[in-house]
Structure 1
């Protein structure tokens, strides 16, 4: 996980930047508590070999396969983001992925096509996973 975080960091993609982007679109209470839980969840999934593989694929594509802008006929970037989102958060994460992909909060607006969708999918999957299940635990 450290190697992946270092490679992402070399592109300006830090854990804090991902947390900020995630919370920029968060509407609700207990933002500090949400941030703490989201950070733990992100670290958990950054340690998952499947998430690592897909994020590394996006990194390698950016480094070795130059694409000018974000052409409309490029869909591989969207597929990587969707796969990450759904792997972490299930089918409901697909809707979150498009929400983040459309709004491009924080770091997402600064990234090239493969990375903005991969990181957007990661954020969307983690946010979806965070809020599934029993809502009563959020009432404090």
Structure 2
């Protein structure tokens, strides 16, 4: 953990949280909430936002995990299915590099979709495939 974050955590434990006591049940509930599945709408929005810069599938997966999105952790094939779908709809471009790694990035059409999704982010969840067709 970054030194600044450790210092902040220590400070908060000594002041802000010093009077709080969490039961095992509370810890369990908090962990459960953190691990809850992200909505399809938020997942699509996050993937599109991450692809404003070029990334490999592995880099994208790692970026999602760093944001506590573990949907693809056990099944990365699902991520590649989503990327293929986005590419076939014409919202992503891809290219292979000299080391046989495929890189993905939004194109102009994908950027327009991202803007649309960001405006709709307050709308109730839809499955990402429904969003692509809408």
Q: What's the TM-score, normalizing by structure 2?
A: 0.30
Bigger radius of gyration: 2
Q: Per residue, is there more strand in 1 or in 2?
A: 2
